[in-house]
Structure 1
Amino acid sequence: MTGPRAEAAALAARHIGQARPSQYLGEACRAALHGSYSVGLTLAADAALAQRVSLCCAGPLAERGESLQINLGEGPCVQALGQRAPVFADDLDNADTTRQWPVYAQQATAHHIRAAFALPVLNGTISAQQAGLVLTLYRDRPGPISGADLRTAQDHAEAADLLLLTAPAQIEDDLAHAWLLPAGAVVHQAIGMISYRHTLTTGQALALLRAHAHTQNTDLSTLAQAVVHDHLTLPDTPGPASSGPAES
Structure 2
Amino acid sequence: MTGSRAAAVELAALHVNRADPSSSLVRACRTELARACSVGLTLAADAALAQRVSLAAAGPLAVRGEALQVNLGEGPCVEALSRRQAVLAPDLDDPDTTGDWPVYAQQARAHGIRAAFAFPSSHPKGTGSRPGLVLSVYRDRRGRLTDADLNTAHTYVYAAELLLLTVPAPGEDDVMDAWLLPTQAVVHQATGVISYRHAVTAGQALALLRAHAHTRQTDLADLAHAVVHHGLRLPEPPPDPAST
TM-score of the pair, normalised by structure 2: 0.87
CA distance in 1, matches of 2:95, 2:63: 24
Structure 1 alignment gaps of length 5 or more: 239-248
Deviation of the 1:171 alpha carbon: 7.7
Is 15-24 or 75-84 further displaced after alignment?
Answer: 15-24
CA distance in 1, matches of 2:137, 2:220: 23
How many pairs align?
236
SS at match of 1:161: helix
Deviation of the 1:215 alpha carbon: 3.4
More helix per residue: 1 or 2? 2
CA distance in 1, matches of 2:20, 2:4: 21
Deviation of the 1:98 alpha carbon: 0.5
Contact 1:183 1:220 survives alignment (8 Å)? no
Q: 2:241 maps to which residue?
A: none
1:16–1:186 CA distance, 2 compared to 1 (3 A)? closer
Deviation of the 1:209 alpha carbon: 0.5
Structure 2: which amino acid aligns with 1:29?
C
Contact 2:43 2:133 survives alignment (8 Å)? yes
1:115–1:19 CA distance, 2 compared to 1 (3 A)? same
Is 146-155 or 214-223 further displaced after alignment?
Answer: 214-223
Q: 2:50 maps to which residue?
A: 50
SS at match of 2:169: helix
TM-score of the pair, normalised by structure 1: 0.85
CA distance in 1, matches of 2:178, 2:205: 15
1:225–1:137 CA distance, 2 compared to 1 (3 A)? same
1:171–1:108 CA distance, 2 compared to 1 (3 A)? farther
State whether structure 2 residue 128 is matched by structure 1 residue 128: yes
Q: 1:174 maps to which residue?
A: 175
SS at match of 1:233: coil
CA distance in 1, matches of 2:37, 2:15: 21
1:126–1:163 CA distance, 2 compared to 1 (3 A)? farther
Deviation of the 1:214 alpha carbon: 2.6
Deviation of the 1:3 alpha carbon: 10
CA distance in 2, matches of 1:194, 1:127: 30
CA distance in 1, matches of 2:9, 2:182: 30
CA distance in 1, matches of 2:80, 2:143: 19
SS at match of 1:232: coil
Q: 1:242 maps to which residue?
A: none
Structure 2: which amino acid aligns with 1:169?
A
Structure 1: which amino acid aligns with 2:143?
G
Deviation of the 1:48 alpha carbon: 0.6
CA distance in 1, matches of 2:112, 2:167: 35
- Of all paired residues, the percent bearing the same amino acid is 64
Give per-residue Cα distances to partners, 1:193-224, cap 9 Å, x unaligned.
21221123433322221122233333212322
Give per-residue Cα distances to partners, 1:102-130, cap 9 Å, x unaligned.
00011111100110000111324995375
CA distance in 2, matches of 1:186, 1:180: 10
Structure 2: which amino acid aligns with 1:9?
V
Structure 1: which amino acid aligns with 2:203?
G
State whether structure 2 residue 84 is matched by structure 1 residue 81: no
Structure 1: which amino acid aligns with 2:158?
E
Q: 2:157 maps to which residue?
A: 157
SS at match of 1:169: coil
1:132–1:48 CA distance, 2 compared to 1 (3 A)? same
SS at match of 1:96: helix
Q: 1:24 maps to which residue?
A: 24
Contact 1:52 1:181 survives alignment (8 Å)? no
Structure 1: which amino acid aligns with 2:14?
R
Deviation of the 1:170 alpha carbon: 7.0
Give per-residue Cα distances to partners, 1:168-202, cap 9 Å, x unaligned.
41783222x46936734543332232122112343
Structure 2 alignment gaps of length 5 or more: 239-244
CA distance in 1, matches of 2:233, 2:86: 39
Deviation of the 1:85 alpha carbon: 1.1
CA distance in 1, matches of 2:126, 2:26: 20
